[in-house]
Amino acid sequence: MADSIISTDGLRLYYGKKEALHGINLDIEEKKITALIGPSGCGKSTFLRCLNRMNDLIDTVTITGTVKFRGHNIYSPKTDTVKLRQQVGMVFQQPNPFSFSIYDNVAFGLRLAGIKDKQTLDERVEKALRQAAIWDVVKDDLNKNAQQLSGGQQQRVCIARVLATKPDVILMDEPTSALDPISSSQIEETMVELAKDYTIVTVTHNMQQASRISDKTAFFMNGKVVEYGDTAQIFINPKEQITNDYINGNFG
Ligand SMILES: Nc1ncnc2c1ncn2[C@@H]1O[C@H](COP(=O)(O)OP(=O)(O)OP(=O)(O)O)[C@@H](O)[C@H]1O
């Protein structure tokens, strides 16, 4: 059996009194792409944000159950959330570079981690931009404001910003939905390349994207996982009729 890097057990999340996740048990396999699919409002983003404690930033949220990252419950009071978010980084739907230079965007997490040495910063920034497949485009323009790049380029800088801190897991919340088709397919290629070294969990509404790039798929409905398995099995031979109906666009 493949190794899981993250596993959730009985994970429940409440916004105030409303329960949005109803006891999720899911194992995320290392160095694979896992796609979270399901109709709008079923809890995909909420679940994704539980994996690096991003929901802590919302006051009304209560969480029960466990989320283990490499065997440690990340909801333990001992967890250093800054470190956790370096290990389990996040890329959002809207590219959100800070309004400062490309270099400073990518170096941001490194400086936060206390790295000051110029040569180390230069090396790590270059490596991250290469991994995000944008080094050749920006290498002569590192001082340019990142917000002046195209949407697809901005998203790559955001991916580089996450990669710079050497995460194990990259969470992606609809990372291509705000991009044009060419930029989207380029980001997809980058995701497949990155999955050789990193674990990726991605939320997507695009069934073709999920079937093209993911290894594993979890189908969510009403705050529960209806079905989870190898992407080929989920798309070709789902166990549940409702999964089949969703994948074939009968509702959504
Ligand atoms: N900050 C919040 N406060 C209160 N309720 C919320 C909050 N964020 C999400 N919800 C509710 O939790 C449920 C799950 O939302 P979530 O955004 O996780 O779904 P989703 O599957 O990612 O949806 P979409 O595909 O539309 O992005 C929904 O009913 C939503 O209204």
- By CB atoms closer than 10 A (0-12, 13-18, 19+), residue 243 is buried
Q: Which residues are within 8 A (CB) of 105 and not within 5 positions of it... i.e. 6 or more apart?
A: 97, 98, 146, 157, 158, 160, 161
40 in a structural domain:
yes
Residue having the nearest C-alpha atom to atom 16 of ligand 1: 43
> Residue 50 sits in which domain range?
4-247
CATH of the domain at 78: 3.40.50.300
Q: Is residue 238 part of a domain?
A: yes
pLDDT band at 252 (very low <50, low <70, confident <90, very high): confident
Closest atom of ligand 1 to 48 CA is 18
Tell me how far apart the alpha carbons of residues 231 and 70 are, in angstroms, rounded to a whole number. Answer: 23
The tokens of 6 are what? 């993250």
Choice between 137 and 1, residue whose per-residue pLDDT is larger: 137
Q: Is the dihedral of CA 44, 252, 31, 8 positive or negative?
A: positive
Distance from first CA to last CA of the chain, Å, rounded?
33
**Both structure tokens of 2:** 């493949």
What tokens were used for 159?
């991916």
From the CA of 64, how far away is ligand 1's center (Å)? 17
What was the ipTM of the complex prediction? 0.97
Who's near 17: CB < 8 A, 6+ residues apart?
none
pLDDT tens string 37-48: 999 999 999 999
Residue 190 forms part of a structural domain: yes
Question: For tokens 């790049």, what's the residue?
Answer: 149
**For a pLDDT cut of 70, what percent of the chain falls above it?**
99
Q: What is the mean predicted confidence (pLDDT) over 110-118?
A: 93
Ligand 1 mean position, distance from CA 223 (Å) = 9
Q: Which atom of ligand 1 is nearest to the CA of 203?
A: 22
In a domain, 24, yes or no: yes
Residues 86-104: tens digit of each pLDDT? 999 999 999 999 999 999 9
Cα 128 to its chain centre, rounded Å, is: 16
Q: Atom of ligand 1 at shortest distance to CA of 49?
A: 18
Residue 141 and residue 130: Cα distance in Å, rounded? 14
Q: Which of 22, 45, 54, 60 most suits a substitution to test ligand 1, by most atoms within 8 Å of the C-beta? A: 45
Domain total in the chain: 1
Residue nearest to atom 25 of ligand 1 (CA): 40
Using a 6 Å CB cutoff, which residues line ligand 1?
15, 20, 38, 40-46, 58
Cβ atoms of residues 33 and 27 within 8 Å: no
Domain assignment of residue 86, yes or no: yes
Task: Report yes or no on 216 lying in a domain.
Answer: yes
* Amino acid type, 128: A
Q: Which atom of ligand 1 is nearest to the CA of 42?
A: 21
Atom 31 of ligand 1: nearest residue by CA position: 41
Written as six digits, the tokens of 251 are 């509702």
For the full predicted model, state whether its pTM sits above 0.80.
Answer: yes
Q: Is residue 119 part of a domain?
A: yes
Residue 218: partners with Cβ closer than 8 Å, 6 or more residues away: 26, 34, 35, 36, 37, 225, 227, 228
Determine, yes or no, domain membership for 252: no
Task: Answer yes or no: is pLDDT of 3 > 90.
Answer: no
152's tokens: 């697809």
- Atom 29 of ligand 1, nearest CA residue: 41
